[in-house]
Amino acid sequence: SGECPQTLEGHSRVVTSVAFSPDSAQLASASWDKTVKIWDASSGEYLQTLEGHSRWINSMAFSPDSARLASASQDKTVKIWDASSGEYLQTLEGILRN
């Protein structure tokens, strides 16, 4: 129908990436505000904010099993998070774009 059923608000700056988890339970959004926000995909309820990057986030993606989320930032790092708890798991450094 082309109608927008819901608008999610929460970032303080431009949203750069949005992804649904493969199990369709969650929606994640990344922003110039250096955060990833996690939402319940059915209700639109805000669940949590993932913080840790020092510069804006370019993109992000869920793992195929929906358990983890990777966020890639202008700070040249990729951070891995537990998608359910929001727990920070790992940083991959030295990611450079040629």
Give me the amino acid identity at 59. S
pLDDT value at 95 more than 80: no
Structural domain that includes position 21? 15-93
Is 71 part of any domain? yes
The CATH code of the domain that includes 61 is: 2.40.10.480
Tens digit of each residue's pLDDT (9 = 90 or more) over 50-93: 999 999 999 999 999 999 999 999 999 999 999 999 999 999 98
What total of structural domains would you count in the chain?
1
Alpha carbon distances (Å) from 3 to 7, 17, 36, 61, 95 = 11, 21, 26, 26, 39
Q: Assess if residue 86 is contained within a domain.
A: yes
Q: How confident is the model at residue 1 (pLDDT cuts 50, 70, 90)?
A: confident
Q: Mean pLDDT, to the nearest integer, of 29-49?
A: 92
**Does residue 81 form part of some domain?**
yes
The answer to whether position 87 is within a domain reads yes
